[in-house]
């Protein structure tokens, strides 16, 4: 498939990029690694008239431990997260999840900010950041603001970013408490049919591909917080979700997977 | 599973060799499906359509009726 026609501009700075976003409005899309956006453009599921390439804003490629959290530049590639010694010490869960995204080619191009801004409910890293209770930093013409991950994913492939804002940094708590990432799929490089991210010894549980956005397993979290056993908490992991149906799984099977994977994840996390 | 050898040289060429090609693959699919059905027989499953995806197996167990392929 061939993309629709579009104009291309190489952004020289975040200010340049957000200025172009403000100028072109809904017609514009930011291009980072391109491993989600370009396929969508080839299928013509996305037809932006203006691509703004932020891929050379190398200032936004960093991983810094900063006191109680780790700050990761939006253009940090998955492979850099996957192999980060800083994250291994401060937030091993994120490092592990990055190693499971797509295949090596995807991980060498795709970026953390890109996958979060894309807001795919079937992606691994958005759910991981959600379970960790991360914070997203957005920059627009009026400055920067912080958005809690729990507020960031608004609907299918939609985020709380304003049309003229760019995601510049992802912050996750420095947290080495028990964690787990359970990804169920049939082929290693596929999206999860269902996935479960468990962070902070079980205090943060999120679900992959169990709704139109990455979601927290609120019922299971509440059960655990209320003193239920991990097994009992996992039994309600699917409650409040609206899982999609496709060739891989219907809703009943996804609910089943959410319960089983949550049980495994809580066990691995020592909850 | 029992493995055996048969030694019947081909008469159509000087080396006596035969092509075996995909002969080994023909039976393997049936053997795998039979093994799955055997494993699921306590659930009343008598047949599973290929490909035996996790979803099909789960559905077959849930229905327990052994209806062909579950509700793929």
Q: In chain A, which stretches have pLDDT less than 70?
A: none
Q: Do B59 and A256 touch (CB under 8 A)?
A: no
Q: What's the CATH number of domain A7-53, 3.40.50.150, 2.60.40.1180, 3.30.43.10, 1.10.1060.10? A: 3.30.43.10
What's the predicted TM-score (pTM) here? 0.89
Does residue B8 belong to any structural domain of this protein? no
Which pLDDT value is given to residue B65? 54
In chain B, how many domains are there?
1
Chain B partners within 8 Å of A253 (Cβ): 54-55, 58-59
Range with the poorest average pLDDT among A89-98, A201-210, B9-18, B20-29: B20-29
In a domain, B68, yes or no: no
- Using alpha carbons, list the distances in angstroms from residue A199 to A28, A77, A180, A207, B6: 35, 22, 7, 12, 58
CB contact under 8 A, A186 and B58: no
What does the pLDDT read at residue B18?
A: 85
Q: What residue spans define the domains of chain A?
A: 7-53, 59-173, 180-268
Q: Do residue B55 and residue A248 have CB atoms under 8 angstroms apart?
A: yes
Q: For strand A143-148 and strand A166-173, is the pairing parallel, antiparallel, or unpaired?
A: unpaired
Answer whether residue B45 is part of any domain.
yes
Domain membership of residue B5 (yes or no) is no
pLDDT on residue B1: 80
Fold adopted by A180-268: Enolase-like; domain 1 (3.30.390)
Quick one: CATH architecture of A59-173? 2-Layer Sandwich (3.30)
SS3 letters for A6-55?
CEEEECCCHHHHHHHHHHHHHHEEEECCCCCHHHHHHCCCCCCCEEEECC
The confidence score (pLDDT) of residue A207 equals: 98
In chain A, residues with a C-beta closer than 8 Å to the C-beta of B58 are 253, 256
Q: Which residues contact A71 (CB under 8 A, 6 or more apart)?
A: A62, A63, A64, A169, A170, A171
The residue among B6 and A74 whose pLDDT is bigger is: A74
- Confidence (pLDDT) at A154: 97
Q: Do A186 and B62 touch (CB under 8 A)?
A: no
Q: Residue B39 is part of which domain span?
A: 27-63
Q: Is residue B7 part of a domain?
A: no
Q: What is the mean pLDDT of residues B6-29?
A: 86
3-class secondary structure, A99: coil
The encoded tokens of residue A222 equal 């509440």
Which residues from chain B sit within 8 angstroms of residue A256, using beta carbons? 58
Quote the pLDDT of residue B71. Answer: 43
Q: Do the chains contact at B55 and A186, CB–CB below 8 Å?
A: no
| Chain B nearest C-alpha distance from A222 (Å) | 28
* Residues of B with Cβ-Cβ distance to A248 under 8 angstroms: 53, 55
**pLDDT higher than 60, residue B66:** no
Q: A248, B53: Cβ pair inside 8 Å?
A: yes
Locate A107 and state its tokens: 């991980």
Taking contacts as CB-CB distances below 8 angstroms, the residues of chain A near B71 are 250
Two tokens at B17? 């060799």
B67 pLDDT more than 60:
no
Per-residue pLDDT, A27: 94
């Amino acid at each position: 498939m061939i993309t629709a026609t579009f104009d291309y501009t190489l952004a020289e700075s975040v200010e340049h990029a957000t200025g172009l976003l403000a100028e072109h409005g809904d017609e514009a899309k930011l291009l980072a690694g391109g491993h989600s956006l370009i396929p969508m453009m080839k299928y013509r599921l996305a037809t932006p008239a203006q691509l703004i390439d932020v891929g050379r804003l190398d200032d936004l490629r960093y991983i810094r431990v900063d006191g109680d959290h780790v700050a990761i530049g939006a253009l940090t590639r998955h492979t850099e997260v996957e192999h980060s010694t800083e994250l291994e010490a401060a937030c091993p869960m994120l490092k592990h999840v990055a190693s499971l995204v797509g295949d090596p080619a995807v991980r060498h191009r795709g970026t953390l900010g890109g996958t979060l801004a894309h807001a795919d409910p079937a992606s691994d890293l958005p759910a991981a950041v959600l379970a960790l209770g991360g914070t997203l930093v957005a920059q627009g013409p009026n400055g920067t603001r912080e958005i809690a991950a729990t507020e960031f994913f608004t609907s299918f492939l939609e985020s709380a970013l304003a049309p003229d804002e760019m995601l510049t940094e992802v912050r996750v708590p420095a947290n080495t408490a028990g964690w787990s990432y359970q990804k169920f799929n049939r082929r290693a490089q596929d999206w999860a049919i269902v996935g479960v991210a468990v962070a902070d010894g079980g205090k943060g549980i999120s679900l992959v591909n169990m709704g139109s956005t990455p979601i927290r397993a609120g019922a299971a979290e509440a059960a655990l917080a209320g003193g239920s056993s991990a097994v009992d908490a996992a039994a309600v992991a699917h409650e409040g979700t609206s899982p999609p149906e496709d060739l891989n799984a219907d809703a009943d099977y996804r609910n089943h997977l959410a319960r089983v994977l949550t049980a495994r994840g809580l066990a691995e996390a020592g909850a | 599973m029992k493995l055996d050898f048969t030694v019947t040289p081909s008469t159509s060429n000087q080396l006596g060799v035969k092509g075996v090609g995909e002969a080994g693959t023909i039976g393997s699919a049936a053997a795998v499906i039979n093994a799955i059905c055997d494993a699921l027989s306590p659930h009343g499953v008598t047949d599973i359509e290929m490909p035996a995806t996790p979803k099909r197996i789960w559905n077959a167990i849930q229905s327990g009726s052994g209806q062909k392929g579950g509700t793929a």
